[in-house]
Amino acid sequence: MLFLWWLLLCLKICCFSEVHAKKVINKNQNNKESFTMASSCSHMVSCQGKLFHHVQMARIFNDSKTFVDMKLKKSSPLIEKEFQNLLIESKGSPSKEILKDFILKHFDDTGTEFTSWVPEDWKPTPKFVHDVYDRDLRKWVTDLNAIWKNLGRKISPSVKEEEDLYSLIYLPNPFVVPGGRFREPYYWDSYWIIEGLLLSEMHKTARGMIENFVHLVDEYGYVPNGGRKYYLGRSQPPLLIPMAQLYWDATSDIQFLKKITASLEKEFQWWLKNRSTSILVDGLPYQVFQYKVNISEPRPESYYEDIKSADYFPDSNDKELFYQEIRSAAESGWDFSSRWQLEGEEHTANLTDTRIKSLVPVCLNSIMGMNANILSKFFKQLDDEENAKKYEDFALNMSKTISRVLWSERDGIWLDYNLETKKLQPGFYPSNFMPLWAEMYGTEREKSYILEQALAYINRYEIEKFPGGIPTSLMNSGQQWDLPNGWAPLQHIVVLGFHKASKHHPDAEVKALTLATNWVVNNYNNYKSKTPHVMMEKYDVTSLGVGGGGGEYENQEGFGWSNGVVMKFLNMYGHRIRVNHDVDPAPLGVGVFLIFYKLMYLEKD
């Protein structure tokens, strides 16, 4: 009788386990990112579990990212077992000092996963430096070129050999990082880093970084947010294809293009499959893209912050939805901003108001249209007419979608679309100019008319009154992707957008030069004011020479994309931008000589 009771109990447990397993499987089938996360990072004690929770909530480190970046000295199961014993000894409440001692015994400091590396293709004075007429700016951009050596990283072979001890994802080639707490490669940062590397004639380093991202696409189907396992499950603005375009424009390397194009298409298809949706606007169907991560857990690298923010919600389901919103906002690169709060709601610094999953962002849809355009051109280079036509048609459809769904005739600019209200989101954001950069004009309006409206829009908000560059928004929410901060990639997108569009309207180039000048002068003044001289992640645009602030962490030094954008602007306008009004005759003399030489050469011909 006892045996029969035991058998029934076992059957009940087995049935319950099977039902529970089916629920988990079904949940994961609907949420592939969650499965990816669970299978890659959650086995590490530095990413989940009791030790992780105790360390993060005790604030052993001021930055939650520090602990998840540390190397384990022994396997996760062994550390977990020893911590369980520690919990028993401390009656479930180990003190901060006990936790510090435990970490010291079982973890190595951050940075041990890298070996020293200096890029072999680095040179002290790239050619473009000579086209910067202002002697002070020329000296400065030479200094910025030297910073690439400080930001170079190479992953230790031990990361590949003992991958379970690291949160770092092994990559085959060395790379350049943003700097500061951002010790690993980051997806969208790398576009502007590669822009700068190519100007610095560091083609091998730039190619290696693109190959690393291709490696990640081949491994996971997409490029993660950054080069850590805890970033799996979310990406960032998909700029791998434009990175390849930068490299192609600099080298015309057809063999490299042949090698990577299939992987570029694979990533494009991942976004199409996992981040697109169909909507009806004025009775017509449109395919649009969203930042939309469905992982319902706190971010390991911001665990404490996410847990504290989620305390606002009494219901566990609301907490899970909040974690999805936060991860989705992180995927956008704009982490965090009033931009992701819905119209009609009070814009606050509270992250609990983040509703990005209800929005169709201008930026992502512009990028996907641009990516299709670039893929079409790549396939033409490879004589693949069928795929070239397929992506050309896709780009045209995206251009029409952006024009019909996101254009605001009232505002004279493109705006994010609110899926709940089925209306456009008002407000100034540099992302509203993204279709200029992506050249996604649509067919409904003349390009000259669009430029006239876009120029009127930026003038109406008096953006030039900000001496240090373009503000990220006009809302001072306390978040880092809002006023008073300006960010290098957004300056680049707006300036390059107007520069590209200057063929459609003469005032566009004037606007591009003015905005680029403001940003360069701000960066320069801040650089010179610091000892030692450093570049920053973000800047205050309401004054000159002041770094940015707000958000979850302190402003970081380095800094990859800030360096790359300044280099690009000085490459474009180095003959026009001044901080020292004493003209250096050397570049002018060279310029006059070249003009004279060309004239003489043409006359001889």
Residue carrying structure tokens 């011909």 = 605
DSSP designation for 243? H
Q: Are 145 and 560 in contact (CB under 8 A)?
A: no
Amino acid making up residue 167: S
Phi and psi for 63 in degrees, rounded to 5? -110, 120
- Nearest alpha carbon to residue 236 among 359, 334, 373, 169: 334
Q: Which long-range contacts (CB under 8 A, 24 or more apart) does 86-95 make?
A: 87/50, 94/54
Longest dimension (CA), the chain: 112
The answer to whether 318 is a known catalytic residue is no
Residue that has been written with the tokens 């990005």 in this structure? 356
Catalytic one of 134, 305, 306, 537: 537
User: Do the bridges between strand 535-536 and strand 557-558 make them parallel or antiparallel, or are there none, so unpaired?
Assistant: antiparallel
Q: Which amino acid is at 201?
A: E
Residue by residue, DSSP assigns 143-212 as HHHHHHHHHEEEE-HHHHHTGGG-SBPP-SS-EE--BTTB-S-BTTHHHHHHHHHHHTT-HHHHHHHHHH
Residue 182 pairs with which residues in a beta bridge?
179
Which residue pairs from 98-107 have beta carbons closer than 8 angstroms and sit at least 24 positions apart in sequence?
99/54, 99/55, 99/58, 99/60, 100/60, 102/51, 103/55, 103/60, 103/67, 103/70, 105/73, 106/72, 106/73, 106/74, 106/79, 106/82, 107/46, 107/67, 107/70, 107/71, 107/72, 107/73
Burial class (CB in 10 A: 0-12, 13-18, 19+), 251: middle
- In contact, 233 and 295? CB cutoff 8 Å: yes
Reading across the β-sheet that carries 423-424, which strands appear in turn? Answer: 359-360, 417-418, 423-424
Contact 268, 289 (CB under 8 A): no
Q: Is 537 a catalytic residue?
A: yes
φ, ψ of residue 417 to 5 degrees: the values are: -110, 130
Element (H, E) at 286: strand 284-289
Tokens found for residue 508? 């566009």
d(CA 573, CA 254): 30
Closest residue by Cα to residue 331 from 310, 296, 357, 368: 357
CA distances from 376 to 210, 243, 382, 519 (A): 19, 15, 10, 34
Please report, as a single letter, which amino acid is at residue 60.
I
The secondary structure of the chain in percent helix, strand, coil, rounded to multiples of 5, reads 55, 10, 35
Alpha-carbon span 110 to 91, nearest angstrom: 30
Task: Read off the tokens for 346.
Answer: 């009070």
Catalytic residue among 335, 353, 482, 552: 335
* Residue numbers annotated as active site: 335, 537
